[in-house]
Amino acid sequence: MYITVTFNPSIDYIVFVDDFRTGRLNRAKAEHAVPGGKGLNVSMVLRNLGKQTKAFAFTGGILGDALIEMVKKEGIDFVSIPASSGETRINIKLKSGEETEINGRGPSIGKEELERLISLLGVELHEGDTLILSGSVPSTLPKTVYRDLAAMAREKGARSVVDAEGELLISALSANPFLIKPNRDELEAISGISPMTAEDIKEYAKKLRAMGAENVLVSLGGEGALLASSDGNVYFHPAPKGHVINSVGAGDSMVAGFLSSLEDTGCFETALKYAVAAGSAAAFSGKLADRALLEESHFTY
């Protein structure tokens, strides 16, 4: 079972505008709203790829109720934990030549809500499961929360995956996560090296393994991805060429694709190729990856 946790889910409002300009009325040529948040995205892609998954997320207010209904329509096994105050956020994704994003703040989550999550996971997590911790957490919570949840998973014989920035990611390394997935910008921020060369990325990915991560998957956007794996090798796979419609969810598709392929094949190199294919399929189509999209990209294994 793949169990995802999303501390700050969203309703993603994606709007396409020709020649957007500030300070004037702009009219959308297309728009749609989808459930968002990195953990929820990973669960939806895993479901699309035929894997068993369950999603946990904090929700708040009327927008939280709307999100719950949206996720239910997606057919995801979903556990919503009510936040103490505030509304589930709306994230605006503006597409007009280039992408512009405005992300909301989200509700407040306190000690009691966190303890509720820990209690639920304590019952849900079993040996052999994978706990996936993705995205930001509210400022009301400690930066060690992913470390603590990853450590709980390890105690139960489950694996953990961490896709987060900065201190959230670094602190989790002491819990020996099975996989972490920084992107180039996040890697530059935590390494203090900018811009990073290909060799810098390779060496710092190996350093993160030495600091505790079993596997380090670095997403490099249009360049592809690099994997420093627990078999001692470093693999690279380039991204296919294509027109990016919407990059939101591409990294989450990559995580889900990697885990799905690794379960099916047991091969790190194949899993990396599948991860890149899944991320690219999402970016080029504007929707989360599924088997049909991957078949269209002619990926087989």
Token representation of residue 192: 């203090």
Residue of 129, 163, 252, 290 marked catalytic: 252
In the residue annotation, 65 being an active-site residue is answered as no
Among candidate residues 157, 219, 150, the one with its CA nearest the CA of residue 182: 219
Q: How far apart are CA 24 and CA 30, in angstroms?
A: 18
Return the bridge partners of 134, or none.
163
Total residue length of the chain: 301
Q: Report how far apart, in Å, the C-alpha atoms of 156 and of each of 9, 38, 132 are.
A: 26, 24, 14
The DSSP code sequence of 155-211 is HTT-EEEEE--HHHHHHHGGG--SEE--BHHHHHHHH--SSPPHHHHHHHHHHHHHT
Q: Supply the residues annotated as catalytic.
A: 252
